[in-house]
Amino acid sequence: MANATSMDVFVSLCKRRGFVFQSSEIYGGIGGFWDYGPLGVELKNNIKRDWWRATVQERDDVVGIETAIIMNPRVWQASGHVDTFADPMVDCKSCKRRFRADELVEHKIEAESAHGHVVETAGLRCPECGGELTEPRMFNLMFKTFIGPVADDASVAYLRPETAQGMFVNFDNVLTAMRRKLPFGIAQIGRSFRNEITPGNFIFRDREFEQMEMEFFVMPGTDEEWHDRWIEERFNWWTGLGVRKEKLHIREHAREELSHYSKRTVDIEYDFPFAGFAEVEGIANRTDFDLKKHEEFSGRSLKYFDEESGQHVVPYVIEPAMGIDRCFLTVLIDAYAEEEVRGEKRTLLRLHKRLAPVKAAVLPLSRNERLVPSARRVWDLLRPHFMTQYDDAQSIGRRYRRQDEIGTPLCVTVDFDTLTDEAVTIRERDSMEQVRVPVSGLVAALREKLDGA
Amino acid sequence: MANATSMDVFVSLCKRRGFVFQSSEIYGGIGGFWDYGPLGVELKNNIKRDWWRATVQERDDVVGIETAIIMNPRVWQASGHVDTFADPMVDCKSCKRRFRADELVEHKIEAESAHGHVVETAGLRCPECGGELTEPRMFNLMFKTFIGPVADDASVAYLRPETAQGMFVNFDNVLTAMRRKLPFGIAQIGRSFRNEITPGNFIFRDREFEQMEMEFFVMPGTDEEWHDRWIEERFNWWTGLGVRKEKLHIREHAREELSHYSKRTVDIEYDFPFAGFAEVEGIANRTDFDLKKHEEFSGRSLKYFDEESGQHVVPYVIEPAMGIDRCFLTVLIDAYAEEEVRGEKRTLLRLHKRLAPVKAAVLPLSRNERLVPSARRVWDLLRPHFMTQYDDAQSIGRRYRRQDEIGTPLCVTVDFDTLTDEAVTIRERDSMEQVRVPVSGLVAALREKLDGA
């Protein structure tokens, strides 16, 4: 996908085919919030499942967890989010539009430094109307709420801006319950919230989003080596999902853009049609910052007893962290293709079989009264095993195109021969090759082609 | 499980073995919020997967969706939640404790009516200290937050108290994108939030919880029949998970306890040790209330064109709705058993194989230097296929008990014979029967015993 026009085509496909809807659309929407439709939720679940399998199930050194979105507010004081998780904001005095000061500055000096966070807005004007801007003021990105009936300082709580703190405050619980030794990791998938000043670019930057984060606890001194290993692991995960290697690259954070807790951070970036290379995953060395802060604020020891050295140490932490929504956007954009087939254009999602929302579609050749019951029996046979669709509307060619457009890897066609030979045709999405298989062996044949997906 | 003592034992098992932790425990917790540990998250994911398979994948008439927790606030005006989603609250003037007035009243008159919602507190005293109570005042249970930097009425938004409205506002999007006809359903799994005055009973009543809800849209007039069908479907789902039938029953809501949108509601109840029979799932006939309200408030048509009658109609809705946290508690309590085996006590979770967090544990007979590498190779073989554990600490009998206690259906033992015959022993949790199988056939043997779990 090359440019802004195809981005519009793509966003419209996402809505039309049930991948992504604007949240609360009938009420004019709500900025920075999106809903996943019937196909979107399957793709999202497949991404989560694949990450969980690679990060938790198949490894011998990582366990999962799922913590509450609302935590004790002291957590966010300890982590530094109450004091420092803020963006500089300016308003235009004439048109009243609101901007992130650092983005305006970046925009102006992008030739010199694409990622500087210096906020010096003197001389800048509103990019929309040319009006005068206010002085920048810091705006905390955590959504606030109140627990209990009285909305005062004592009852204030926050929607988590990252899932990571759920792992840090449970470090000792997990260590004990799971009888773990270093190095080991705790992984989590869950929603997070950031009150972004300027959400945008479809689901690229949301106010409500879902994260997949893993905190890998290691002995101090082994952190740099583990950081390198995780960068490699995570890069391989992306290419293993079928994302084109030439569209991905790895970028080191400059010292001045590092988060307050980080010793070194590396981003995996994807070349988006609307933004150029932009972060899809960050792999940070968070050092012992978080555990030490929680020791200080909670008064509880979060040290690990190292039998070998006989010492109590606060582990270092390597954190691969990503947003699923952005991953969703990446795999969809990367899979999107338009091609000519026998003089006809087809739109295609070349999604990895493990990610495809629908694994197999059952298509009777026509709505013939003998074919339909036979096709529905085939559908009944497949539903317990795979996510499927049934479609008998319009020509078979048109229905193949519809399945291509949503990335269905396999179509199963029921024709008049089926009525006598009890066999069906399997058609593959990418090659469009067709093979005939007996209905009795269909589940096994599909399973083999899907390679356990 | 019979009484409060065993409930304490059970809660402690949940913490000790990594099922459920108090949220933000190192900061003294936070009332009504809980975290799921490494085993808890697997059990929870298995419950979700089973519900999704039964409700979405295997049916030909339901699709999934996943909507934002924060929606346009007009949604909650239309649904009636801003005006009526409130509980009556009273404070004790002496000890300052806070109560739900309806619960105090219920407590007093439970002999007459177990579910009355009449709030008449005259003459009631504080159940803790006997002090005088304030007049009851209504307290809205929706958590409030603010979008954007200014916390005023224009920016107020709510954390959803139910996922259902996400389906209603997307009714037309899904109908169109998925080219559906009535009857059809939209299902969703996701977090919801209720600012409960008195959360409690472990994870029975949380302030943050996760729901599995499905809105089934039907032609008016067919709603009563569909309601009965869904009550049966849902009851069978519970028993299909292995929950004992005699511990479940179905209860009709009395007219005065029906929600404002409901024509008829039926609860599936479970006999909890701490509460007696209490709701684990509600199946409501929500009529056309929600869609009509959204038509009124949004100005958008949410009618369905019925080709047969040539008429535009607002569908009726049957809604099976449940909280996963309470389902989690139910299946765990129901599976919990203590029994004598050869003069020794064992604690056991007789979890359905599909629900068990760990499917198979790999146990070398001892930490012998020849057994351990062999056992680790077996573990490597299994991890891509199943959620597993490896344990080589302490005696083999002790390790079987540890796996029994977390409900692991199968243990794989590697012994000295394995080194020569390349075979291992599979031990079943409930029967404790053992069979010897070759390592080369182990994945297939486990898969068969787990019956596709």
Q: A250-262, pLDDT tens digit by residue? A: 999 999 989 888 9
A169–B36 CB contact, under 8 Å? no
**Does residue A317 share a domain with residue A233?**
yes
B149 in A contact zone (CB under 8 Å): yes
CB contact under 8 A, A18 and B174: yes
Helical residues (DSSP H) of B207-257, grouped into ranges: 223-240
**Bridge partner list, B271:** B277
Which residues of chain A neighbour B178 with C-beta distances below 8 Å?
18, 37-38
Q: Which of residues 175-194 of B touch A (CB under 8 A)?
A: 177-179, 186, 191, 193
Q: What is the pLDDT of residue B100?
A: 87
Q: Is the pLDDT confidence value at B196 over 80?
A: yes
ipTM of this complex > 0.90?
A: yes
Mutate to test the interface with A, among B16, B23, B26 (most CBs of A within 10 A): B26
Q: Which amino acid is at A393?
A: A
| Residue B143, domain member (yes or no) | no
Please report, rounded to a whole number, the percentage of residues in chain B having pLDDT higher than 70: 95
For the residues A24-37, what does the mean pLDDT come to? 96
Residue B309 sits in the same domain as residue B445: no
Residue among B256, B283, B260 at smallest CA distance from B115: B256
Q: Is B18 at the interface with chain A, CB within 8 A? A: yes
A393: contact with B, CB 8 A cutoff: yes
Quick one: A189 and A278 in the same domain?
yes
Residues B33 and B178 in one domain: yes
pLDDT of residue B343: 87
Same domain, yes or no: A318 and A410: no
Residue A303 shares a structural domain with residue A364: no
**What's the pLDDT band for A109 if we cut at 50, 70, 90?**
very low
- Tell me whether residue B146 is in a domain: no
Q: Residue A214: give its domain's CATH number.
A: 3.30.930.10
**Spatial distance between the Cα atoms of A46 and B49, rounded to a whole number of angstroms:** 12
Give the pLDDT of residue B108. Answer: 55
For a pLDDT cut of 70, what percent of chain A falls above it?
Answer: 95
Residues A183 and A268 in one domain: yes
Q: Which of A35, A171, A359 to mutate to test the interface with B (most CBs of B within 10 A)?
A: A35
Task: Find, among B298, B284, B293, the residue nearest to B80 by Cα.
Answer: B293
pLDDT value for A161 = 98
At which of B332, B350, B381 does a domain end? B332
| Least Cα separation, residue A112 to chain B (angstroms) | 31
Which chain B residues have a beta carbon less than 8 Å from that of A170?
A: 21, 25, 35, 37
**What is the reported pLDDT for A151?**
73
Statement: residue A119 has pLDDT above 80: no
pLDDT mean across residues, chain A: 93
Give the model's pLDDT for residue A452.
52
Q: Six-digit token pair at A233?
A: 């692991």
A187, part of any domain: yes
From chain B, the residues in CB contact with A64 under 8 A are: 38, 41-42
- Range of B429's domain? 358-450
Q: A58 near A237, Cβ under 8 Å?
A: no
Interface probe for B, chosen from A66, A74, A178, A194 (most Cβ of B below 10 Å), is A66
- Average pLDDT in the B73-95 region? 93
Report pLDDT digits (tens) over B354-396: 999 999 999 999 999 999 999 999 999 999 999 999 999 999 9
User: What is the rounded average pLDDT of the residues B236-257?
Assistant: 96
Residue B430 domain-assigned?
yes
pLDDT at B116: 37
Residues A362 and A328 in one domain: no
Task: Looking at the complex, report in whole angstroms how far the Cα of residue A201 sits from the nearest Cα belonging to chain B.
Answer: 17
Residues A383 and A234 occupy one common structural domain: no
- Please tell me the total count of domains within chain A: 2
Peptide bond just before B357 cis, omega within 30 deg: no
A304 & A444 share domain: no
Residues whose CB is less than 8 angstroms from the CB of residue A308 and which lie 6 or more positions away in sequence, other chains included: none
Q: Is B115 a residue whose pLDDT tops 80?
A: no
Which member of B26, B28, B383 has the closest CB to residue A58? Answer: B383
Query: Any CB–CB contact under 8 A between B198 and chain A?
Result: no
What average pLDDT score do residues B400-412 get?
A: 98
Distance (Å) from the alpha carbon of B270 to chain A's nearest alpha carbon: 25
Domain with residue B404: its CATH number is 3.40.50.800
Q: What is the pLDDT of residues A148-193, one digit of tens each?
A: 877 777 799 999 999 999 999 999 999 999 999 999 999 999 999 9
Are both B194 and B323 inside the same structural domain? yes
**Could you tell me the pLDDT band of residue B259, with boundaries at 50, 70 and 90?**
confident
pLDDT reading at A244 higher than 80: yes
Q: Dihedral of CA A134/A139/A145/A150: which sign?
A: negative
Q: How confident is the model at residue A117 (pLDDT cuts 50, 70, 90)?
A: very low
Domain assignment present for residue B337? The answer is no
**Positive or negative torsion for Cα B36, B330, B111, B257:** positive
Closest-CA residue to A354 (of A209, A435, A270, A240): A240
- The answer on A292 and A175 residing in a single domain is yes
Chain B CB within 8 Å of residue A153 CB: no
pLDDT score for A373 = 97
Where among A288, A314, A332 does a domain terminate?
A332
A183: cis peptide before it, omega within 30°? yes
pLDDT classification of B137: cutoffs 50, 70, 90: confident
Entry pTM? 0.94
Query: Does pLDDT of A116 surpass 50?
Result: no
Q: Tell me how far apart the alpha carbons of residues B65 and B59 are, in angstroms, rounded to a whole number.
A: 15
Instruction: Give which of B272, B326, B450, B197 is closest to A147, Cα–Cα.
Output: B197
Is residue B339 exposed (0-12), middle (13-18) or buried (19+ Cβ within 10 Å)? exposed
- Residue A60, pLDDT > 60, answer yes
CA distance B411 to B395: 14
Going by the DSSP 8-state scheme, the letter that residue B352 receives in this structure is -
Instruction: Report, as an integer, the average pLDDT of A39-58.
Output: 98
Domain presence at residue A112: no
The answer to whether residue B103 sits within a structural domain is: no
- Per-residue pLDDT tens digits for B20-38: 999 999 999 999 999 999 9
Angle at B188 (CA atoms; ends B184, B193), nearest 5 degrees? 140
- At A75 the pLDDT is 98
What integer best gives the mean pLDDT of chain B? 93
pLDDT over 80 (residue B266): yes
Residue A155 lies in a domain: no
Q: How confident is the model at residue A107 (pLDDT cuts 50, 70, 90)?
A: low
Report chain B residues whose CB lies below 8 A from the CB of A144. 145-146, 151
**Would you put residue B355 in left (φ > 0), alpha (ψ -120 to 50) or beta?**
alpha
